[in-house]
Amino acid sequence: MKRFFILSAAAIMSVCHTAVTAASIESDSLTVHSIEQVNVVTSRASERTPIPHTNLSQSQIENQNFGEDIPSLLASLPSVVISSESGIGIGSTSFRVRGTDPTRINVTLNGVPMNDAETHSVYWYDTPDLISSVGSIQLQRGVGLSTAGTGAFGASLNMTTTPPQAKFSGRASLSYGSFNTQKQEVAISSGLLGGHWTIDGRLSHLSSDGYVDRAKSNLSSYLFQAGYYNNKTTLKLLSFGGVAKVYLTYTGVTPEQLESNRRYNPEGEIWGYKPMADGTMEYEVVGYFDDHTDNYTQINNQLILNHKFSDRWQLNATAHYTYGNGYYLNYKNDQKLAKYGITSAPVERTNLLRNKSMANHFGGLVATATYTSNALTLNFGGSASLYDGVHFGTISALELVPDFAETEYYRNSTTKYDCSLFARADIALTKRLNLYADLQYRHISHNIDGVNDNYDPTISAMQRLDIARRYNFFNPKIGLHYTPSRNHALYITAAVGQKEPTRNNFTDIREGEYPTAEQMLDLEGGYTFGNDIITANLNLYYMLYRNQLVQTGELSDTGELLSRNIPKSYRRGVELIVDIKATKWLSVGANATLSQNRILGYVDYIDEMAFDRGNTTIAYSPSVIAGLYIQASTHGFTARLSSRYVSKQYLTNGEYEDLTLPRYCVSDLNLAYTFGKVRFGVKISNLFNTLYCASGYGGSWMEGATLADRKSWVYYFPQATRSVLANVTVKF
């Protein structure tokens, strides 16, 4: 921990970010400064943008911040389903929107892509406690606005960091709860210095034993930002990141294990021969490897410039650079050494320790020019980025070969260029009718070369990678927003989205297959109503896919869910959102998504045998997602009871009833009391102690030639039973 804070202090001396506008009023030699955050408005939908979205303000985020990862904060939003491998929302967490997996959800912070350029996923424990520095969130469902980074096929998550403070201030926060979960955080803001400068910093540490056995997390993070502004120009330098050490939990448990010990974790098991009372030897678990962990360091840097040329023209430009370096250790039992290229050892099989490492650099520029008049808003912009990464692995120890010298068994490198240009217009055709148009061109060049970690039995060697792909996408969007009266609005939009395959789509493929880009036509339409008491939104969507890369339920050797191109598929549904301000102190709200998620003419491959399953339900796509909350606030006290329901999900696309994730309903209770600058909070998760699993995977094998001979295997990720997390935050 001491080492981390020393490293953080060094990083604080070198990098940072954010954007600020200021107004100063001089009175009796006292200058009062008001600093606001410069939002990355070009990637945010407004009230008149015909795109379904949900906003979370800074106060809403702070009230739900107990130390969990950002997906836990999104749990109650429309069409969202979250899961956590550790079972408690800290460590390896993820979320889906409308059944779409995380690799198809575009995530940005201040307009900068957060998705990994190769896997397209966001690994939230690489930026621990980022939630404590997030000032606002917008979740756009569907294709959303054109933005930098990977294409959005289910949603876009747009985040901004907290704005600097005009006066000196700070915050100290402590959390502790079930499963030895704890958080320590301190943040300080300098206020305005010399009329033009601000400096802000945060240090955090989170740790937990996890609900699942040995699902330990040890996470340390920092954020530092320095800003300069004058009347027309703001410049900010931001640096944030952290060091993560997380015990691996990606295997899940079988139905039998779920009944006997739902917290069971097979990762890190050491198998050996144990002497029995009758003198025989039995092969069983004899211990656990303590360092069976994922270890990663990530440093993110952003330099943000905002310049106002006139009342109508404004420029936003952000240069960014992210450095990542990490590895994870695996203890593997009874491994065939030839699969790792080891042929000179005196044994053919033994237990071994392998180390899989990666190092990467990701940098680029995001820029936008904005023109605003009474009836017209224009945005022109683009982004360019370069990803350069290397993957390599070593075998560091063999149990039966004590003098074994560490051997590298694979190494490959990746470069990826991603460039995009967009132009967007919001035109007030009349006082009540707005036209929205958005055009985006995106070019990707993706190259992978070297030897991969997958053993290819056809050549008795590790998989050779020689991938060079180019993609050119044109993504148009158009929509109308009509306001017939003060409290009512109607909207409709049509958008095209296209997306390149991920790294795993290339490396984990069926023999003879090669992944192609996927396309989607997204049609959205809806009605909104709002007054001082009730706000409501009814949204209809139809997402028609071509060559959608759909997760099959199969798992790779590294724990990644595998995907295959499906020629024709669709998602269609209705989303209903209602919020009611019943009294000054009581609010209630609900949301529900009813959907159909179908593959047209699905062919299921089991042990290389093909079975025509007709029209089937897409895996991991519940037909019903619903949420409900009741919140009471009075005299500094707030109580919020929220519930979410998720219907049955199929774990594969074959629509087999023995390969499903059962439906569940879970409730959380948040209690808080604030007096002055001190806030006490308690979160009781899974209030009614529901036994449920939020994710899983499975598959089939054949013991004959027909589906009647099919057998199945399945693994689940159980979530924590009732747990408590308490927090005290003091501001000064």
Q: Which of 16-30, 189-203, 440-454, 637-651 shows the lowest per-residue confidence on average (mean pLDDT)? A: 16-30
Residues 443-486: pLDDT tens digits?
999 999 999 998 887 788 888 999 999 999 999 999 999 999 99
Residue 677 CA neighbour count, 13 Å, CB half:
8
Beta-carbon count within 10 A of 292 CB:
21
Cα 115 to the center of its chain, rounded Å: 8
Collect all residues with Cβ–Cβ distance below 8 Å to 197 and sequence separation of at least 6: 190, 226, 227, 228
Structural domains in the chain plus CATH codes: 2-731 (2.40.170.20)
Based on the number of CB atoms within 10 Å of its own CB, is 576 exposed (0-12), middle (13-18) or buried (19 or more)?
Answer: middle
Q: What is the pLDDT of residue 561?
A: 66
Torsion of CA 488, 493, 498, 499, to 10 degrees: 0
Per the DSSP assignment, residues forming a β-bridge with 536 are: 529, 578
Token pair of 613 as six digits: 């399953």
pTM, two decimal places = 0.92
Higher pLDDT, residue 8 or 323:
323
Residue 318 near residue 301 (C-beta atoms within 8 A): no
Q: What is the pLDDT of residue 126?
A: 93
Q: Residues 152-186, buried b or exposed e (16+ Cβ, 10 A)?
A: bbbbbbbbbbbbbbbeebbbebebbbbbebbbbbe
> How long is the chain?
732
Mean pLDDT of the chain: 90
Distances (CA, A) of 297 to 12, 118, 246, 300: 15, 17, 12, 10
137-178, pLDDT tens digit by residue? Answer: 999 999 999 999 888 888 999 999 998 888 899 999 999 999
285 forms bridges with which residues in the sheet?
Answer: 271
Of 406 and 22, the structure prediction assigns the larger pLDDT to 406
DSSP 227-255: EEE-SSEEEEEEEEEEEEEEE---S-B-H
Asked if 722 contacts 684 with a C-beta cutoff of 8 angstroms, the reply is yes
- Dist CA 95 CA 101 (whole Å): 7
> What proportions of the chain, in percent to the nearest 5, are helix, strand and coil?
10, 65, 30
**Residue 254 in this model has a pLDDT that exceeds 50:** yes
Quote the percentage of the chain above a pLDDT of 90. Answer: 80
Terminal Cα distance for the chain, rounded:
25
* 551 vs 697: CA distance, rounded Å: 10
Q: Report d(CA 676, CA 661) in Å as an integer.
A: 46
Q: Which two tokens stand for residue 222?
A: 């920092």
At a CB cut-off of 8 Å and minimum separation 6, what does 119 contact?
A: 103, 502, 503, 504, 560
pLDDT at residue 555, as a whole number: 59
Burial of 676 (0-12, 13-18, 19+ CB in 10 A): exposed
- Tokens for 660? 């499903």
Q: Give the pLDDT of residue 22.
A: 34
Residues near 525 by beta carbon (within 8 Å), at least 6 away in sequence: 490, 491, 492, 493, 539, 540
Pair of tokens at residue 22 = 């200021």
Is 111 a residue whose pLDDT tops 90?
yes
What mean pLDDT comes out for the span 249-271? 94
CA 35 to mean position of chain CA atoms:
30
Condensed to tens digits (0 to 9), the pLDDT of residues 508-550 reads 876 667 899 999 999 999 999 999 999 999 999 999 999 999 8
With 0-12 / 13-18 / 19 or more C-beta atoms within 10 angstroms meaning exposed / middle / buried, residue 194 is: exposed
Q: Tell me: pLDDT of 556 over 60.
A: no
Query: Minimal CA–CA distance to 426: which of 383, 370, 381?
Result: 370
Which residue is listed with tokens 């594969």? 652
Q: Quick one: pLDDT at residue 33?
A: 35
Lowest pLDDT segment from 31-40, 195-204, 420-429, 448-457:
31-40
pLDDT digits (tens, 9 = 90+) for 2-31: 343 333 333 333 333 333 333 333 332 333
- Mean pLDDT across 373-393: 95
> What's the rounded Cα separation, in Å, for the pair 442 and 106?
14
Which band of pLDDT confidence, cut at 50, 70 and 90, is reported for residue 553? Answer: low
CA dihedral 631, 632, 635, 636 (to 10 degrees): -20
Burial grade of 104 (CB within 10 A; 0-12, 13-18, 19 or more): buried
Question: Minimal CA–CA distance to 85: which of 243, 312, 247, 227?
Answer: 247
Q: What is the pLDDT of residue 246?
A: 96
